[in-house]
Chains A and B, each alone.
Chain A
Amino acid sequence: MWEFLASIENSAFPTWVRETSSIFGYYTVLASHTFGMAFLVGLSSVVAARALGLFPDMPLSPMQKFVPLIMVGFWVNLVSGLILISLSPKNFFTNWDFWLKMAAIVCAIVAARSLRASVFGGDPATIDKRPISASAKTSAVAMLAFWLVAVTAGRLTAYAGWVREETAVAVVVFTVVALVAHEVWVRVAAT
């Protein structure tokens, strides 16, 4: 198994990406991964936020037009992610943080598909007329939570030791504070 992974790591393309001084090697692959994340997570999060009742003036039906862009983000991330893994597969596969990221991505995709089926499925003429179902809202919350875990875990794969756990706690604290602040803001604005 490890010999096979080492052969991938030492093959021509990963070696070029890792060792070239060209900016079109490692750093461009890394940037592509960030572009993919921005379109995949950024745009799908807006659909989830709309399903959760934010931006109620925004009709859901036209938001289907963003799905192809979200899919482009996913495929860009898959390809760039596979290239990044091929640069040092053993390091990734022996890092539990990497597996947490993978699990979170799979769960987020499952939740996103469920959300898409709930809000965009059925008769297209009724998309903006029917109420958002509880299962759609559950999928939206789950997708946002799994994206949060995936982005955090992805960032922390570059670190080792307790700093990852400490940072994860700090991210949770920040998120809770931000959500409470948003809730307070909404209530104050409503009065």
Chain B
Amino acid sequence: MESVLRYWLLWPSVVHFLQQNSWAWPLSETLHFFGVNLLIGGVGLFDLRVMGLAKALPIRAVRKLLPWGVFGFILCVVTGLAFVTGLQANIPAHPYDVIMSDLWLQLKLVFMALAGLNLLAFYLTGMSRAVDDLGPGEDAPQLAKIIAGSSLFFWLMVIYFGRLIPDGL
């Protein structure tokens, strides 16, 4: 298993690209931040509305922000994968060893998984459909509020532990 992960986590072509193009690493960092802004602007604002802030906004309209949040998430995932698979362009360590030893990176991944499971719960419990028709001034069910609050909390924790990663290297 370890040898498989060691093979999959290190991409020499990405390392080579990042080494040959000095702008590629800082560009990835900048786009990672753009992604965070889009994620909070899209998914975060949706969560806040479901939790009860700005209740006069109809959910169906706020839902249209979600593709922007998803785009932000994709930006973060792609650039995050560039940091992992191309890590050796920045520090002389194998990504597998970093994942196994950096507690903050592990916690970031755990909170990303929790955010994913939370999203799954939002759909599987029927809360997604339950909030869909909420018009201006209408309150979301309690469970939907809990899931939305958890979503915001999990994403903020992903950001927090993401910032701590260099401390664990």
- Say whether A associates with B: yes
Q: Mark B15-47, 1 if CB is under 8 A from A, else 0.
A: 000000011101101110110111111101100
Are A34 and B41 in contact, with the CB atoms below 8 A?
A: no
**Partner among A59, A164, A174 whose Cβ is within 8 Å of the Cβ of B57:** A59
CA A159 to CA B30, docked complex, whole Å: 12
Q: Chain B residues near A152: list those with CB within 8 A.
A: 30
Q: For the complex, is B129 an interface residue (Cβ under 8 Å from A)?
A: no
Most buried by B among A41, A58, A63, A164: A58
Min CB gap B147→A, angstroms:
20
Q: Mark B129-140, 1 if CB is under 8 A from A, else 0.
A: 000000010000
Given the contacts A31-B159, A159-B26, A62 and B56 also touching, CB distance less than 8 Å? yes
**Partner among B44, B60, B166, B167 whose Cβ is within 8 Å of the Cβ of A57:** B60
Q: Which of A23-62 contact B (CB under 8 A)?
A: 23, 27-28, 30-31, 34-35, 37-39, 41-43, 45-46, 55, 57-59, 61-62
CA A58 to CA B30, docked complex, whole Å: 29
Are B45 and A46 in contact, with the CB atoms below 8 A?
A: yes
Are B36 and A38 in contact, with the CB atoms below 8 A?
A: yes
Q: For the complex, is A65 an interface residue (Cβ under 8 Å from B)?
A: yes
Q: Which of A132-152 contact B (CB under 8 A)?
A: 147-148, 151-152
Q: For the complex, is B93 an interface residue (Cβ under 8 Å from A)?
A: no
Query: Which residue in chain A gives the minimum CB-CB distance to B157?
Result: A31
Interface of B: prevailing SS = helix
Q: For the complex, is A166 an interface residue (Cβ under 8 Å from B)?
A: yes
**Partner among A65, A169, A174 whose Cβ is within 8 Å of the Cβ of B54:** A65
Min CB gap B21→A, angstroms:
8
**A-side interface size class:** 35 or more
Q: Which of B33-91 contact A (CB under 8 A)?
A: 33-34, 36-42, 44-45, 48, 53-58, 60-62, 64-65
Q: For the complex, is B163 an interface residue (Cβ under 8 Å from A)?
A: yes
CA A174 to CA B33, docked complex, whole Å: 14
Q: Which of A48-92 contact B (CB under 8 A)?
A: 55, 57-59, 61-63, 65-66, 69
Are B64 and A57 in contact, with the CB atoms below 8 A?
A: yes
Q: Chain B residues near A158: list those with CB within 8 A.
A: 26
Are B57 and A34 in contact, with the CB atoms below 8 A?
A: no
Q: For the complex, is B7 an interface residue (Cβ under 8 Å from A)?
A: no
Report how many residues on chain B are interfacial, defined by Cβ distance under 8 Å. 39
Are B61 and A58 in contact, with the CB atoms below 8 A?
A: yes
Q: For the complex, is A95 an interface residue (Cβ under 8 Å from B)?
A: no
**Partner among B36, B57, B156 whose Cβ is within 8 Å of the Cβ of A63:** B57
CA A164 to CA B38, docked complex, whole Å: 23
Are B39 and A42 in contact, with the CB atoms below 8 A?
A: yes
Q: For the complex, is A109 an interface residue (Cβ under 8 Å from B)?
A: no
Q: Chain B residues near A174: list those with CB within 8 A.
A: 27, 31
CA A73 to CA B67, docked complex, whole Å: 23
Q: For the complex, is A100 an interface residue (Cβ under 8 Å from B)?
A: no
Min CB gap B46→A, angstroms:
10
Q: Chain A residues near B123: list those with CB within 8 A.
A: none
Are B53 and A65 in contact, with the CB atoms below 8 A?
A: yes
CA A31 to CA B26, docked complex, whole Å: 18
Q: Chain A residues near B58: list those with CB within 8 A.
A: 57-59
Known: A65-B53, A155-B26. 4 other contacts (CB 8 A): A42-B40, A57-B64, A58-B61, A151-B30
